[in-house]
């Protein structure tokens, strides 16, 4: 196969695509340009490296550059930044150490990922103020946190904020969290968020909800977080985790269509408006399984799965990248929280549904079996079609059960069909009626 597959970006989507394409079609020339030095790493593990539970940053690397080059025969070039794409000429312009060259392609994958949003806070450039979205940032934070520091501030109550609160508390710092919304973990729904909020407070985290941060002050190094009304909260280190934005400028400059979410628009095969250009990972849209509309939910499995499918397509076997449900799970000290689909009823109404929901508390195991704990389940459905729309779970164990609901979403199951699933039972693992089945049974009663 005398063709070249060029990939921009060497993390989840890019390296999954490269590996699958080369495996399926060994004669394909596969070249990956990565502007940094890290490739194929587990970004989700970075908070646990900062906490100290992961001893070596290298442990987060799934496959080394040497393995890609020597064992998989992939032309991986780190320290190479693609600065321009010319779809008409089918070339990319690459910069390395101030010098530029062009590389032609037959197929191109844009996997430029996303970047941490840096609001225009005063003092955001002070020493001790960080975002955490790549390995170098994680290493810098871990190196910065020392016995001399006492107080940490987290700006943003999403996944990163909650995980970093645990990480920095685990390093012995007093942690304050600032969130503009009424709750943290907004996509998980008010019930799950409320349980996590109470647990964070029990762990000593000071929560400041519905609180806008104005900036940071300090003499060279950050000393305080400045809030509205001239209120000031001392801080020796600050993590800004207010979300991410897709890196789309390279694609946009090349005339590649940007979707309504702000990410690169793609079809079911990950193809853009240019038939030879694909996009995947945190920079690209996918179709939401519940609404059928484009969505941008940057998660690890989404990137890996889409990249692998595109690699297979380029190698000659067209493969759909798959719909997404936004299934996610997060650890908050001794609690876990998970979610999938549409949990918020207002969001469901905006999508054209008539939502009805229930929240139940159930035991994670048989009540009489040691170690059983309370698991809170919120289940949402459409009243007219009775189709399951989404769910959230929160508890000390068992929140991975969210995968059952995610499967129900992809299968477009009704609440009754979910209730009648034959799920496993044994006292160490579940009550006779699994909490998911119990929630479906209660919700089905409201629909009848």
Catalytic residues: 44
Structural contact between residues 15 and 68, judged by C-beta atoms closer than 8 angstroms:
yes
CA-based nearest residue to 248, from 220, 218, 277: 277
Tokens of 410: 């992809």
Whole-angstrom distance, CA of residue 436 vs CA of residue 391: 9
Whole-angstrom distance, CA of residue 314 vs CA of residue 310: 6
Calculate the alpha carbon distances from 133 to 7, 138, 287, 311 in Å.
Answer: 21, 8, 24, 25
As a dihedral over the C-alpha atoms of residue 129, residue 330, residue 55, residue 33, rounded to 10 degrees, the angle is -70
- CB atoms closer than 10 angstroms to residue 273: 15
Whole-angstrom distance, CA of residue 213 vs CA of residue 219: 19
Within 8 A by CB and 6+ apart from 143, the residues are none
Structural contact between residues 249 and 262, judged by C-beta atoms closer than 8 angstroms:
no
> What would the DSSP string read from start to end of 174-198?
EEEEEESSSSSSGGG-HHHHHHHHH
């Amino acid at each position: 196969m005398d063709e070249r597959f060029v990939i921009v970006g060497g993390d989840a989507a890019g390296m999954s695509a490269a590996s699958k394409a080369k495996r399926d079609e060994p004669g394909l020339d596969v070249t990956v340009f990565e502007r940094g030095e890290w490739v194929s790493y587990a970004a989700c593990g970075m908070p646990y490296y900062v906490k100290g539970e992961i001893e070596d940053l290298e442990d987060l690397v799934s496959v080394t550059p040497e393995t890609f080059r020597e064992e998989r025969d992939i032309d991986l070039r780190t320290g190479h930044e693609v600065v321009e794409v010319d779809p008409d000429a089918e070339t990319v312009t690459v910069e390395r150490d101030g010098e530029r060259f062009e590389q032609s392609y037959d197929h191109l994958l844009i996997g430029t990922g996303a970047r941490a949003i840096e609001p225009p806070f005063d003092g955001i450039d002070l020493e001790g103020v960080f975002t955490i979205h790549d390995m170098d940032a994680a290493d810098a934070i871990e190196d910065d946190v020392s016995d001399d520091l006492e107080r940490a501030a987290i700006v943003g109550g999403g996944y990163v904020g909650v995980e970093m609160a645990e990480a920095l508390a685990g390093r012995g710092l007093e942690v304050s969290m600032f969130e503009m919304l009424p709750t943290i973990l907004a996509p998980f729904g008010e019930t799950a968020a409320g349980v996590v909020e109470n647990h964070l407070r029990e762990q000593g985290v000071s929560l400041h909800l519905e609180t806008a941060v104005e900036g940071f002050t300090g003499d060279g190094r950050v000393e305080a977080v400045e809030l509205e009304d001239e209120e000031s909260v001392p801080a020796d280190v600050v993590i800004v985790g207010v979300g991410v934005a897709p890196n789309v400028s390279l694609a946009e400059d090349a005339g590649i269509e940007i979707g309504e979410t702000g990410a690169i628009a793609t079809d079911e095969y990950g193809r853009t408006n240019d038939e030879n250009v694909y996009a995947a990972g945190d920079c690209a849209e996918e179709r939401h399984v519940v609404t059928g509309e484009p969505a941008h939910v940057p998660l690890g499995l989404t990137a890996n799965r889409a990249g692998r499918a595109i690699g297979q397509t380029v190698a000659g076997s067209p493969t759909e990248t798959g719909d997404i449900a936004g299934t996610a799970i997060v650890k908050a000290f001794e609690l876990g929280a998970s979610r999938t689909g549409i949990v918020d009823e207002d969001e469901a109404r905006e999508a054209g549904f008539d939502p009805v929901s229930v929240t139940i508390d159930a035991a994670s195991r048989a009540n009489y079996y040691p170690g059983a704990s309370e698991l809170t389940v919120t289940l949402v459905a459409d009243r007219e079609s009775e189709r399951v729309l989404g769910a959230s779970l929160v508890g000390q164990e068992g929140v991975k059960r969210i995968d059952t609901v995610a499967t129900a979403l992809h299968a477009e199951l009704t609440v009754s069909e979910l209730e009648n699933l034959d799920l496993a039972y044994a006292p160490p693992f579940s009550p006779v009626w699994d909490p998911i089945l119990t929630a479906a049974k209660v919700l089905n009663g409201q629909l009848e």
